[in-house]
Amino acid sequence: MNYVIRSVRAEEWAAAREVRLLALRDPVAHLAFLETYEEALAKPESFWRERTAGVAEGAEGAQQVIAEGPDGEWVGTMTVLVEEAGTKDWAGFPVDRLQGHVVGVFVRPECRGIGLTEVLLDAALEWAWGRGVERVRLIVHEENLRAQAFYRKAGFVPSGVVVPLTADPDARELEFVLERS
């Protein structure tokens, strides 16, 4: 595999924006992301600069890892956020221990099935474990069976926590967790 797996750098905000917009155009984006292409496209440059700086190399509270192809093109991405015990998560649920939260997972369709998601996850987990988190979690739409199968294969298990979606009251997101061994 001729891909470099690394953290983004703050000055790469335009590339981070580009890969996010590409991810939001994926046919299953409605199952994987909580924003639309149109919403992301409307955000100003300052948003993308700040967002990228917050997940860039050297950031303590979050890290965006990318897979960079031989030509420099970003072909995959994954972000892990650190959630502090005693806080509330994005859905308003209490966080009872220091944990990582994997979000923003995307691999270009033409690069799927070659192991990039696995190495991105390994890098994200290594970063999170290095921050002392006790577990890593992620939220998967109940209809995103491909993602569920991948995370189960990687060792994640359903926690039983179900997150309702405000945009679609009939849909649910399922929490999967991986405990630190």
Q: pLDDT (tens digit, 9 = 90+) per residue, 100-157?
A: 999 999 999 999 999 999 999 999 999 999 999 999 999 999 999 999 999 999 999 9
Rounded (5°) CA angle 73-28-6: 30
Which has the higher per-residue pLDDT, 35 or 164?
Answer: 35
Which has the higher per-residue pLDDT, 146 or 12?
Answer: 12
Q: pLDDT (tens digit, 9 = 90+) per residue, 84-116?
A: 999 998 888 899 999 999 999 999 999 999 999
Q: How far is CA 164 from the centre of its chain?
A: 19
Cα diameter, the chain: 44
Determine what percent of the chain is predicted with pLDDT higher than 90: 85
Rounded (5°) CA angle 180-172-175: 5
Q: pLDDT (tens digit, 9 = 90+) per residue, 14-30?
A: 999 999 999 999 998 88
pLDDT of residue 142: 92
Q: Look up the pTM and report it.
A: 0.93
> DSSP strand E in the chain: where?
4-7, 62-68, 74-83, 99-107, 135-141, 157-164, 172-179
